[in-house]
Amino acid sequence: MTTQEKLKQYRDWIFKCSAYRMALNIIDIDKQTVAPSAGAAFRDERSSYLAGELFSLETDPEIIALLKELKDDPEVDAEDKRAVQLYYKSVMDTMCIPKEEYVAYRKLCNEAFDAWILAKSKADYSIFEPYLKQVIESQKKLYGYRDSKLSVYNQMLDDFEPGMTEEKYDAFFAALKERLVPLIRKVTAAKQIREDFLHLEYPVEEQKKFMNELLTYLHFDPSWGYQNESEHPFTSSTCENDCRTTTKYIPNSVVSAIFSTVHEVGHAYYEHDVDPKYDGTILSEGISSGMHESQSRLCENYLARTEAFWRYHYPKLKAQFPKQLGDVSLEDFLKAVNASKPSFIRTEADELTYPLHVLIRYEIEKGLFNGTISTEGLDKTWNAKYKEYLGVDVPNAKVGILQDVHWSDGSFGYFPTYALGTAFANDQAPDLSFAQQILGMGEPGDVLLAISTSGNSKNVLYAIQMAHVRSMKVIALTGRTGGRIAERNLADIAIRVPSDETYRIQEYHLPVYHMLCIAAENEFFGA
């Protein structure tokens, strides 16, 4: 078989696998949003069966042999080779697991989610505890089949953030804890900012009206994005043009759904910005969970908490809720949404206290898998850590140990990436330099002149996205094809000059600059 024939077989396999993943993904989205609870057992059994069929397809000995050949084939280009290497590693990690045990585990996770929903509704950890215990025991067994020298929890950490270990996270969190715990105590002891108006009664239907305007402002285009509601906000996608997000509305917290929405839209844009040629492949999954979280945390903290953002949105929010916000100034509202105050809920935590919420989860996960912490009485362990690190008394399991969905589906090792992503977002990436300038200086109605000979320059694409967020207009100057700017209709006006050669494109751009300047001068100063 020639290399091209092997690649054809490989791509056919990818297509089949992606079809199963898409079906399972949509079933899971449905399960967490609108599916009737009474049908859970039936759905769980069928989705577990589909997961088993996907498992068989992915671990087919013929495919394993094919991947082994392709990963060492000199005729395979670098991009395909990287994908093949990742697939081969994934297959080698799972092929040693007995299929029946894998299917049983998937069914267990489905049941654990159902138990978590019930337990949270009743604020009763004891309902969820037996399932959590089984999920952990099953994971220890399944990871034990891998040919790895790493501990089970280190393997999990590496799955979500390649190269990260307990040792590295311990050092990372130790530095955070050393600085944050005493600082938070000082902040807590200081005079507190008024924020009572954030927790008045805000009718959910009115919140939804504002959220629809916000989604439009964020250019969360319904042609490729969709928002629903779930007990715990999440983002999921089947391809770059099918990104689903959820939020959760709380009647006595007006900003909870807002921050969750902006956070999840950040995730959605990460998925949407993946090159469509990677759709359905392992390369569409992003660099790491930490990098994925960095975009959502960037949007949540460095967009949705800024004066520029609320200078535009607060009048609209105030008009939606005149009774609740009528006497609250923009300045007071800004102080309230940026106030630092220890709390129970991770997803609603401020920038200062947020990492400690993650630290608590990391320490508990590590203990659960290292045998120093038990699922029995875990709610008490949780409450004690919240008292130690944040100085708060957790009133019940609903706002305590049952607040997050992640452990029900076995996503241990994922939580630390939230703190890592927050740290990443705090550092300026070169590709974001123009976008950050627009965030700071752009105003609704301003015009961005975006210049990219290829139409693919990342720093320009990010700048355009931020311009849309700031309700600015975009004029793009590109070459003949327009690149991704044209493909995605990112510009309000696109000027594509008739050349594909960089130097020629730049020459054609020169008279365009002058014409735009002349037009602007005539508009402002007269002919």
Q: Which residues of 59-93 are buried (b: 16+ CB within 10 A; e: fewer)?
A: beeebbebbeebbeeeebeeebbebbebbbeebeb
Strand partners, 236: 244
Q: Which residues contact 200 (CB under 8 A, 6 or more apart)?
A: 252, 254, 324
Residues with a known catalytic role: 264
Strand partners, 476: 450, 494
Query: In this structure, how many other beta carbons lie within 10 angstroms of the beta carbon of residue 498?
Result: 9
- Sole residue written with tokens 């921050």: 259
Contact 106/301 with Cβ under 8 angstroms?
no
Q: Which residues contact 484 (CB under 8 A, 6 or more apart)?
A: 455, 456, 461, 490
- Positive or negative torsion for Cα 144, 145, 151, 153: negative
CA distance 50 to 431: 40
Amino acid at 46: R
From the number of C-beta atoms within 10 Å of its C-beta (0-12, 13-18, 19+), residue 377 rates as exposed
Q: Give the number of C-alpha atoms closer than 13 A to the C-alpha of residue 434, restricted to the C-beta side.
A: 17
DSSP designation for 407: G
CA distance 410 to 136: 7
Q: Which token pair is 492?
A: 């309000």
